[in-house]
C-alpha cells in the first residue's frame, strides 16, 4: 500500500468549484473518450448517507488499454476497463477504483475542499489514524504537464479570465491570490502482488498526479464557460455530456469487438460492458 496526500490550490472559492468540478469532469471525460476508450457512465443518481447527508452517487467504466505501459498491456485483455464509484457529499467526496481482472488492485481517494492555500495539516487526522503519508503540492500553473496533455489555451501562466478577471498566475501566485481554495486529496493505492507491488503502486500514483494536475488546470482554464451556471444548469450539462460520451465510447467498443475480438475472455468482458 502506498499513500500520498495531494494539495491542489486554485484561484476559486469552494462554492464556485462545486459547479466548476462537475463541468470540468463532464467535459474532460468527453474529450478523453476516443477510439473506444474513455469513460462510460453507468449510474448517476441522488444518494443519501446517514453520516454525510444528501449527495450524488456515480458509477463509471474507464476504458484505458492504450494508456497502459507496455508491460501491463501484455497481460490484460484487449478490452480492459476500471470501475469508478464515487460518492459526492460536497465539500467531501469519496472515490474508489477497482478492476475485476486485477482483484488485488484498488485506488481509494478521499477529498476535502477548504477556502485556504493548502495550510491545513490536520484535515485528514480522523481518516489517517496516525498512518504515514507523503504530502505533495501540485501547482496548476507551473508544474510540468505531460506533452500530450498540453494546450496553449489551458496554460495558466498566460491565461486571464474575462468574466472574473483572475489570472495571469505569476510565480508564487498562491501566496497573494484572493480568492483561493485547496483540494486536499488522500490517495491510497494497493496492488498486493509480490514482485510488482512497488512498481505498480508508484506508476499509478504518477498517473493520478498527472490527472489531478490536468483536471484542476482545466477547471480554471474553462472558468468563463461555467462561472454563470447554477447547480441545475451544470447537472443538465452533465446529463447531456454523459449521453454523448456513452454513445461515443459504446459505439467504438462494439466496432472494436466485431473486428478484433480474438479470445473468449475479450468477448466475455465486452458483453459485461455492453449490458
pLDDT, residue 269, reads: 34
Distance, CA of 140 to chain centre: 15
What is the pTM (predicted TM-score) of this model? 0.86
pLDDT, residue 260, reads: 47
pLDDT, residue 271, reads: 44
pLDDT digits (tens, 9 = 90+) for 99-113: 877 788 999 999 999
Percent of the chain with pLDDT over 70: 82
pLDDT, residue 164, reads: 97
pLDDT, residue 31, reads: 83
Helix, coil or strand: residue 228: coil
pLDDT, residue 264, reads: 36
- Kindly give the parts of the chain with pLDDT less than 50: 258-275
pLDDT, residue 102, reads: 79
pLDDT, residue 252, reads: 55
Other C-beta atoms lying within 10 Å of the C-beta of residue 164 = 15
pLDDT, residue 228, reads: 98
Q: What cell numbers appear for 159 in the block?
A: 491565461
**What are the phi and psi torsion angles at 76 (to 5°)?**
-115, 160
Give every CB contact of residue 173 below 8 A, 6+ residues apart in sequence: 11, 141
pLDDT, residue 268, reads: 44
Amino acid at each position: 500500500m502506498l499513500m500520498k496526500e495531494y494539495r491542489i490550490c486554485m484561484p476559486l472559492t469552494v462554492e464556485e468549484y462545486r459547479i466548476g468540478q462537475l463541468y470540468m469532469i463532464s467535459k474532460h471525460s468527453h474529450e478523453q473518450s476516443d477510439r473506444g476508450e474513455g469513460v462510460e457512465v453507468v449510474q448517476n443518481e441522488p444518494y443519501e448517507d446517514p453520516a454525510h447527508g444528501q449527495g450524488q452517487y456515480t458509477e463509471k467504466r474507464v476504458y484505458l488499454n492504450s494508456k497502459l505501459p507496455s508491460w501491463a498491456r501484455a497481460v490484460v485483455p484487449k478490452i480492459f476497463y476500471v470501475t469508478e464509484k464515487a460518492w459526492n457529499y460536497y465539500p467531501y467526496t469519496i472515490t474508489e477504483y477497482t478492476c475485476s481482472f486485477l482483484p488485488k488492485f484498488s485506488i481509494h481517494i478521499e477529498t476535502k475542499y477548504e477556502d485556504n492555500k493548502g495550510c491545513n495539516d490536520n484535515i485528514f487526522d480522523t481518516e489517517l489514524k496516525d498512518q504515514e503519508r507523503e504530502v505533495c503540492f501540485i501547482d496548476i500553473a507551473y508544474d510540468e504537464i505531460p506533452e500530450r496533455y498540453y494546450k496553449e489555451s489551458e496554460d495558466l501562466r498566460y491565461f486571464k479570465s474575462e468574466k472574473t478577471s483572475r489570472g495571469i498566475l505569476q510565480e508564487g501566485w498562491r501566496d497573494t491570490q484572493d480568492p483561493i481554495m485547496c483540494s486536499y486529496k488522500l490517495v491510497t493505492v494497493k496492488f498486493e502482488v509480490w514482485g510488482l507491488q512497488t512498481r505498480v503502486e508508484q506508476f499509478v500514483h504518477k498517473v493520478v498526479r498527472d490527472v489531478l494536475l490536468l483536471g484542476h488546470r482545466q477547471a480554471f482554464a474553462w472558468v468563463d464557460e461555467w462561472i454563470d451556471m447554477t447547480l441545475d444548469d451544470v447537472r443538465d450539462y452533465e446529463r447531456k455530456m454523459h449521453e454523448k460520451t456513452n454513445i461515443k465510447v459504446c459505439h467504438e467498443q462494439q466496432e472494436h469487438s466485431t473486428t478484433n475480438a480474438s479470445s473468449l475472455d475479450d468477448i466475455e468482458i465486452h458483453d459485461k460492458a455492453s449490458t
